[in-house]
Amino acid sequence: MKRMKWMLLAIAVAAFLIVPAAVFAKPYKVALSMSYIGNDWQGISANVLTSMYELKYKDKVSTLDVYVAGTDAANQNRQILQMVAKGYDLIICYPISPTALNQSIKKATDAGVLFMCYDSEVTAPSSYNVTFDNYDAAFKSTEWLAKTLNYKGNIVVINGVPGTTVDIDRRKGCGDVIAKYPKMKIVAEFPGMWANGPSQEGMAKLLAAGIEFDGIFTQGGGAGTVQALLEPSTSSSRWATSPRTWSA
Protein backbone atom coordinates (compact mmCIF):
# COMPACT_ATOMS: atom_id res chain seq x y z
CA MET A 1 0.00 0.00 0.00
CA LYS A 2 2.98 2.33 0.41
CA ARG A 3 3.52 2.49 -3.36
CA MET A 4 -0.15 3.37 -3.80
CA LYS A 5 0.22 6.28 -1.36
CA TRP A 6 3.20 7.73 -3.21
CA MET A 7 1.31 7.40 -6.48
CA LEU A 8 -1.61 9.30 -4.98
CA LEU A 9 0.69 12.18 -4.10
CA ALA A 10 2.18 12.20 -7.60
CA ILE A 11 -1.30 12.20 -9.15
CA ALA A 12 -2.38 15.09 -6.94
CA VAL A 13 0.59 17.16 -8.07
CA ALA A 14 0.28 16.27 -11.74
CA ALA A 15 -3.45 16.98 -11.80
CA PHE A 16 -2.73 20.55 -10.79
CA LEU A 17 0.38 21.15 -12.83
CA ILE A 18 -1.16 20.13 -16.16
CA VAL A 19 -3.22 23.31 -15.96
CA PRO A 20 -1.75 25.71 -18.54
CA ALA A 21 0.67 28.15 -16.97
CA ALA A 22 -1.16 30.99 -18.71
CA VAL A 23 -4.01 30.55 -16.20
CA PHE A 24 -1.80 32.26 -13.61
CA ALA A 25 0.10 35.50 -14.06
CA LYS A 26 3.12 34.04 -12.29
CA PRO A 27 4.59 30.59 -11.54
CA TYR A 28 2.74 28.56 -8.93
CA LYS A 29 3.53 28.67 -5.23
CA VAL A 30 2.97 25.24 -3.69
CA ALA A 31 2.80 24.19 -0.03
CA LEU A 32 2.73 20.69 1.42
CA SER A 33 0.77 20.49 4.69
CA MET A 34 1.81 17.36 6.55
CA SER A 35 0.48 16.06 9.86
CA TYR A 36 2.20 13.10 11.57
CA ILE A 37 5.50 12.28 9.85
CA GLY A 38 6.95 9.71 12.24
CA ASN A 39 6.68 6.90 9.68
CA ASP A 40 8.95 6.21 6.72
CA TRP A 41 6.37 6.59 3.97
CA GLN A 42 5.46 10.17 4.90
CA GLY A 43 9.09 11.17 4.69
CA ILE A 44 9.33 9.44 1.34
CA SER A 45 6.15 11.20 0.21
CA ALA A 46 7.77 14.56 0.91
CA ASN A 47 10.88 13.43 -0.96
CA VAL A 48 8.77 12.34 -3.95
CA LEU A 49 7.13 15.75 -4.10
CA THR A 50 10.37 17.72 -3.81
CA SER A 51 12.01 15.46 -6.40
CA MET A 52 9.14 16.05 -8.84
CA TYR A 53 9.58 19.76 -8.30
CA GLU A 54 13.35 19.68 -8.82
CA LEU A 55 13.30 17.38 -11.86
CA LYS A 56 10.14 18.29 -13.76
CA TYR A 57 8.27 21.36 -12.60
CA LYS A 58 10.67 24.20 -11.86
CA ASP A 59 9.38 25.98 -14.95
CA LYS A 60 5.87 26.04 -13.43
CA VAL A 61 6.59 26.18 -9.70
CA SER A 62 8.50 29.05 -8.12
CA THR A 63 8.19 27.88 -4.52
CA LEU A 64 7.68 24.57 -2.76
CA ASP A 65 7.49 24.68 1.03
CA VAL A 66 6.82 21.85 3.47
CA TYR A 67 4.93 22.42 6.75
CA VAL A 68 4.68 19.79 9.48
CA ALA A 69 1.86 20.10 12.03
CA GLY A 70 2.15 16.78 13.82
CA THR A 71 -1.02 15.25 15.29
CA ASP A 72 -2.42 18.61 16.43
CA ALA A 73 -5.38 19.68 14.27
CA ALA A 74 -5.28 23.20 15.70
CA ASN A 75 -1.66 23.52 14.61
CA GLN A 76 -2.47 22.27 11.12
CA ASN A 77 -5.30 24.81 10.92
CA ARG A 78 -2.93 27.62 11.92
CA GLN A 79 -0.41 26.56 9.32
CA ILE A 80 -3.04 26.38 6.57
CA LEU A 81 -4.15 29.93 7.36
CA GLN A 82 -0.51 31.02 7.23
CA MET A 83 -0.23 29.44 3.78
CA VAL A 84 -3.27 31.39 2.61
CA ALA A 85 -1.78 34.63 3.92
CA LYS A 86 1.48 33.91 2.10
CA GLY A 87 -0.33 33.55 -1.22
CA TYR A 88 0.15 29.90 -2.17
CA ASP A 89 -1.70 28.76 -5.27
CA LEU A 90 -1.86 25.07 -4.29
CA ILE A 91 -1.94 23.38 -0.89
CA ILE A 92 -1.38 19.61 -0.88
CA CYS A 93 -2.45 18.20 2.46
CA TYR A 94 -2.31 15.06 4.56
CA PRO A 95 -5.14 15.94 6.97
CA ILE A 96 -5.12 14.77 10.56
CA SER A 97 -8.93 14.82 10.63
CA PRO A 98 -11.76 14.58 8.08
CA THR A 99 -13.62 17.52 9.62
CA ALA A 100 -11.35 19.61 11.88
CA LEU A 101 -9.71 21.48 8.99
CA ASN A 102 -12.88 22.30 7.07
CA GLN A 103 -13.17 25.96 8.04
CA SER A 104 -9.54 26.64 7.17
CA ILE A 105 -9.93 24.79 3.89
CA LYS A 106 -12.97 26.91 3.03
CA LYS A 107 -11.01 30.09 3.76
CA ALA A 108 -8.25 28.82 1.51
CA THR A 109 -10.50 27.94 -1.41
CA ASP A 110 -12.53 31.14 -0.99
CA ALA A 111 -9.23 32.96 -1.44
CA GLY A 112 -8.64 31.11 -4.72
CA VAL A 113 -6.27 28.45 -3.41
CA LEU A 114 -6.58 24.98 -4.93
CA PHE A 115 -6.70 22.47 -2.08
CA MET A 116 -5.93 18.76 -2.48
CA CYS A 117 -5.80 16.01 0.13
CA TYR A 118 -4.03 12.74 -0.55
CA ASP A 119 -4.69 9.33 0.99
CA SER A 120 -6.58 10.61 4.05
CA GLU A 121 -9.73 12.55 3.21
CA VAL A 122 -11.67 15.62 4.35
CA THR A 123 -15.37 16.37 4.09
CA ALA A 124 -14.90 19.99 2.99
CA PRO A 125 -16.77 20.18 -0.35
CA SER A 126 -14.26 22.58 -1.89
CA SER A 127 -11.28 20.24 -1.40
CA TYR A 128 -10.22 17.50 -3.79
CA ASN A 129 -9.55 14.06 -2.26
CA VAL A 130 -7.12 11.73 -4.04
CA THR A 131 -7.32 8.33 -2.34
CA PHE A 132 -8.24 4.68 -2.69
CA ASP A 133 -10.63 2.34 -0.88
CA ASN A 134 -8.92 1.81 2.47
CA TYR A 135 -11.93 -0.04 3.87
CA ASP A 136 -11.75 -2.60 1.08
CA ALA A 137 -7.98 -2.97 1.48
CA ALA A 138 -8.35 -3.77 5.18
CA PHE A 139 -11.40 -5.98 4.64
CA LYS A 140 -9.65 -8.15 2.07
CA SER A 141 -6.44 -8.38 4.11
CA THR A 142 -8.34 -9.46 7.20
CA GLU A 143 -10.42 -11.92 5.20
CA TRP A 144 -7.17 -13.55 4.07
CA LEU A 145 -6.00 -13.64 7.68
CA ALA A 146 -9.26 -15.24 8.79
CA LYS A 147 -9.11 -17.87 6.07
CA THR A 148 -5.49 -18.70 6.88
CA LEU A 149 -6.41 -19.19 10.55
CA ASN A 150 -9.40 -21.36 9.63
CA TYR A 151 -11.71 -18.62 10.92
CA LYS A 152 -10.75 -18.91 14.57
CA GLY A 153 -8.22 -17.45 16.95
CA ASN A 154 -7.13 -14.41 18.93
CA ILE A 155 -6.11 -11.38 16.89
CA VAL A 156 -3.87 -8.41 17.67
CA VAL A 157 -4.78 -5.30 15.69
CA ILE A 158 -2.17 -2.58 15.11
CA ASN A 159 -3.88 0.60 13.95
CA GLY A 160 -2.59 3.72 12.22
CA VAL A 161 -2.68 7.45 12.98
CA PRO A 162 -5.83 8.10 15.06
CA GLY A 163 -8.39 10.47 13.61
CA THR A 164 -7.45 10.07 9.95
CA THR A 165 -9.98 8.58 7.55
CA VAL A 166 -7.42 5.95 6.58
CA ASP A 167 -7.28 4.66 10.15
CA ILE A 168 -11.06 4.93 10.57
CA ASP A 169 -11.76 3.00 7.36
CA ARG A 170 -9.15 0.32 7.99
CA ARG A 171 -10.33 -0.25 11.54
CA LYS A 172 -13.85 -0.74 10.27
CA GLY A 173 -12.77 -3.05 7.44
CA CYS A 174 -10.81 -5.24 9.85
CA GLY A 175 -13.49 -5.19 12.53
CA ASP A 176 -16.29 -6.07 10.11
CA VAL A 177 -14.48 -9.22 9.04
CA ILE A 178 -13.67 -10.40 12.55
CA ALA A 179 -17.26 -9.74 13.63
CA LYS A 180 -18.43 -12.27 11.02
CA TYR A 181 -16.65 -15.18 12.68
CA PRO A 182 -17.71 -16.15 16.23
CA LYS A 183 -14.49 -18.01 16.92
CA MET A 184 -12.32 -14.96 16.15
CA LYS A 185 -11.81 -12.07 18.53
CA ILE A 186 -9.57 -9.05 18.98
CA VAL A 187 -7.59 -9.51 22.20
CA ALA A 188 -5.48 -6.35 21.97
CA GLU A 189 -5.05 -3.31 19.75
CA PHE A 190 -2.95 -0.16 19.79
CA PRO A 191 -1.94 2.69 17.46
CA GLY A 192 1.23 1.75 15.57
CA MET A 193 1.12 5.05 13.64
CA TRP A 194 2.09 3.14 10.42
CA ALA A 195 5.61 3.34 11.83
CA ASN A 196 8.17 0.72 12.79
CA GLY A 197 9.16 2.24 16.14
CA PRO A 198 5.70 2.52 17.75
CA SER A 199 4.65 -0.82 16.26
CA GLN A 200 7.69 -2.60 17.69
CA GLU A 201 7.28 -0.94 21.09
CA GLY A 202 3.57 -1.74 21.32
CA MET A 203 4.09 -5.35 20.23
CA ALA A 204 6.90 -5.81 22.74
CA LYS A 205 4.60 -4.64 25.54
CA LEU A 206 1.94 -7.15 24.54
CA LEU A 207 4.48 -9.96 24.49
CA ALA A 208 5.84 -8.93 27.88
CA ALA A 209 2.29 -8.95 29.25
CA GLY A 210 1.87 -12.55 28.13
CA ILE A 211 -1.11 -11.89 25.88
CA GLU A 212 -1.80 -14.96 23.76
CA PHE A 213 -2.64 -14.47 20.11
CA ASP A 214 -2.82 -16.39 16.86
CA GLY A 215 -2.66 -13.64 14.24
CA ILE A 216 -1.82 -10.00 13.72
CA PHE A 217 -3.48 -7.43 11.51
CA THR A 218 -1.32 -4.34 11.11
CA GLN A 219 -2.05 -1.24 9.05
CA GLY A 220 1.67 -0.51 8.70
CA GLY A 221 4.99 -0.73 10.50
CA GLY A 222 5.25 -4.42 9.73
CA ALA A 223 9.03 -4.53 10.02
CA GLY A 224 8.88 -3.19 13.57
CA THR A 225 6.19 -5.69 14.46
CA VAL A 226 8.29 -8.60 13.21
CA GLN A 227 11.37 -7.27 14.99
CA ALA A 228 9.50 -7.38 18.30
CA LEU A 229 8.62 -11.00 17.64
CA LEU A 230 12.26 -11.86 16.92
CA GLU A 231 13.73 -10.25 20.03
CA PRO A 232 15.50 -12.78 22.33
CA SER A 233 13.29 -11.70 25.22
CA THR A 234 10.31 -13.27 23.46
CA SER A 235 11.96 -16.67 23.04
CA SER A 236 10.04 -18.20 25.93
CA SER A 237 6.69 -16.75 24.89
CA ARG A 238 3.87 -18.68 23.31
CA TRP A 239 4.86 -16.99 20.04
CA ALA A 240 8.07 -19.02 19.93
CA THR A 241 6.38 -22.37 20.27
CA SER A 242 3.41 -22.23 17.93
CA PRO A 243 2.72 -20.81 14.47
CA ARG A 244 1.31 -17.34 13.95
CA THR A 245 -0.04 -15.38 11.01
CA TRP A 246 -0.04 -11.70 10.29
CA SER A 247 -1.54 -9.46 7.65
CA ALA A 248 -0.65 -5.96 6.54
Residue 45 is predicted with a pLDDT of: 87
- What are the counts of helices (DSSP H) followed by strands (DSSP E) for the chain? 8, 9
What is the amino acid identity at position 79? Q
Residue 234 is predicted with a pLDDT of: 52
- Domains (range + CATH), the chain: 2-130 (3.40.50.2300), 134-247 (3.40.50.2300)
Residue 58 is predicted with a pLDDT of: 86
Tell me the mean pLDDT per 10 residues along the chain, length 248: 52 51 67 93 87 86 94 97 97 97 98 95 96 96 97 98 97 98 97 96 95 96 93 53 49
Phi first, then psi, for residue 96 (nearest 5°) are: -80, -15
What is the amino acid identity at position 29? K
The Cα–Cα gap between 161 and 149 comes to 27
Phi first, then psi, for residue 229 (nearest 5°) are: -70, -25
* Neighbour tally for 189: CB within 10 Å: 17
